[in-house]
Amino acid sequence: MSEKEFLEQIRANQGIIYKVVSLYAADPEEKKDLYQEILLQCWKGWGNFRGEAKFSTWLYRICLNTIFTSMRKKRLVVYTDELPEDGELAPSQLDKEDSVALQKAIRQLTDLDRAIILLHLDGYGNTEIAGMLGMSANTLSVKLYRIRQRLSKLLNEQGND
């Protein structure tokens, strides 16, 4: 696989990187650092990409692993920024206000729960998500149910403020 193919895939899927980084990074500099670290890890792993999964699935896995590794090193994450327009989390049928409320609620979830709901909202199936995160599909289903309940509660609380 060539450098040209790598760059084409990254350009076509860079929204995934922006989206994931925006959910886990606190400020613009941290976002830039994480983005660059993800690109570096992708390039390092490019030779091992066999194409057995979609590139976007492989990219999500690298993004999440890189961010979780970085967070373990830093142990400090503060969420203040909104997602950039090109890294919108929710489908376009949500208006801006609903999208911001959903993003705010998602930022209050644990790291793993945030990853699960992000992948779910992007249309990945339970089996695929479970495989990416190294858990059984049944465990994922239970976690997803609880995440939805938690988000519903958080959104209701936001609406009452």
For 79-129, write each residue's pLDDT tens digit. 444 444 444 444 444 566 777 888 888 888 998 899 899 888 888 888 888
Residue 10 per-residue DSSP state: H
- Quote the tokens at residue 4: 């040209």
Amino acid in the structure at residue 123: G
Do 130 and 148 have their domain in common? yes
Do 99 and 68 have their domain in common? no
Do 101 and 154 have their domain in common? yes
The vertex-132 CA angle with 142 and 144, nearest 5°, equals 20
Hunting for tokens 């895939």 — which residue is that?
9
Do 6 and 60 have their domain in common? yes
Instruction: Write down the pLDDT at residue 17.
Output: 93
Give the pLDDT confidence of 54-76 residue by residue, as tens digits.
899 999 999 988 988 887 766 54
Do 5 and 82 have their domain in common? yes
Do 131 and 160 have their domain in common? yes
Hunting for tokens 């049928």 — which residue is that?
93
Domain boundary among 64, 87, 110: 87
Do 101 and 31 have their domain in common? no
Q: Count of domains in the chain?
A: 2
Q: What is the mean pLDDT of residues 34-42?
A: 93
- Quote the tokens at residue 130: 């479970």
Rounded to the nearest 5°, which phi and psi values hold at 122? Answer: -85, 5
Any residues with CB less than 8 A from the CB of 66 and at least 6 apart, and which?
Answer: 34, 37, 38, 41
Q: What is the rounded average pLDDT for all residues in the chain?
A: 82
Domain boundary among 87, 120, 142: 87
Domain coverage including residue 49:
1-87
Do 51 and 124 have their domain in common? no
pTM of the model: 0.60
Q: What is the mean pLDDT of residues 122-149?
A: 89
Of the candidates 22, 43, 45, 46, which has an alpha carbon nearest to the alpha carbon of residue 34? 22
